[in-house]
Amino acid sequence: MATFQEQRAILSVSDKTGLLDLAKGLDSLGVKLIASGGTSKAIRNANLPVQDVSDVTGAAEMLGGRVKTLHPAVHGGILARNIPSDLSDLNTHKIAPFSIVVCNLYPFSKKISSEPAPTLEEAIEEIDIGGVTLLRAAAKNFSRVTILSDPQDYEEFLEAYRENKGTLPDSLRQKYALKAFSQTAEYDALISEYFRRQFALSPVSSSPQLLELRYGANPHQKPASAYVTEGTLPFKVLSGSPGYINLLDALNSYALVTELANAFDPPLPAAASFKHVSPAGAAIATQLTPEEVAVFDADGVDLTPLASAYARARGADRMSSFGDFIALSHECDIATAKLIGREVSDGIIAPGYSSEALKVLSAKKGGKYCVLQMDEKYVPNSVETRTVYGVNLRQGRNDVKIDKNLFSNLVSQNKTLPDNAITDLIVATISLKYTQSNSVCYAYRGGIIGLGAGQQSRIHCTRLAGSKADAWWFRHHPRVLNFKFKKGVKRADKATATDLFVTGEIFKTPEGDEERKAWEVFFAEGQIPEPLKKEEMEAWSKQLKGKVSLASDAFFPFADNVWRAGRSGVGYIAAPGGSVQDEAVVKAADDLNITFAMTNLRLFTH
Catalytic residues: 140, 276
221 DSSP β-pair partners: none
Helix, strand, or coil here: 228? coil
Cα distances from 583 to residues 101, 183, 569, 589, in angstroms, run 65, 54, 22, 10
Helix (H) or strand (E) holding 371: strand 370-374
Query: Which residues is 374 bridged to in the sheet?
Result: 235
Helix (H, G, I), strand (E, B) or coil at 392: strand
Q: How far apart are CA 98 and CA 422, in angstroms?
A: 69
3 state SS of 81: coil
Contact 128, 108 (CB under 8 A): yes
Q: What are residue 548's phi and psi, to 5 degrees?
A: -90, 145
Nearest to 254 by CA among 367, 375, 339, 355: 375
Measured CA to CA, the distance from residue 199 to residue 288 in angstroms comes to 49
> What whole-number distance in Å separates Cα of residue 134 and Cα of residue 538?
78
Residues whose CB falls within 8 Å of the CB of residue 447, separated by 6 or more in sequence, listed in order: 281, 282, 283, 284, 286, 309, 312, 313, 315, 316, 427
Contacts of 42 (CB under 8 A, 6+ apart): 16, 19, 20
Q: What are phi and psi of 26, to 5 degrees?
A: -65, -45
CA dist., res. 300 & res. 548, Å (int): 29
SS3 call for 545: coil
Rounded CA-CA distance 544/142 in Å is 70
Tell me, rounded to whole angstroms, the distance of Cα 351 from its chain centroid: 20
Phi, psi of 481 (to 5 degrees): -65, -20
DSSP state of 485: B
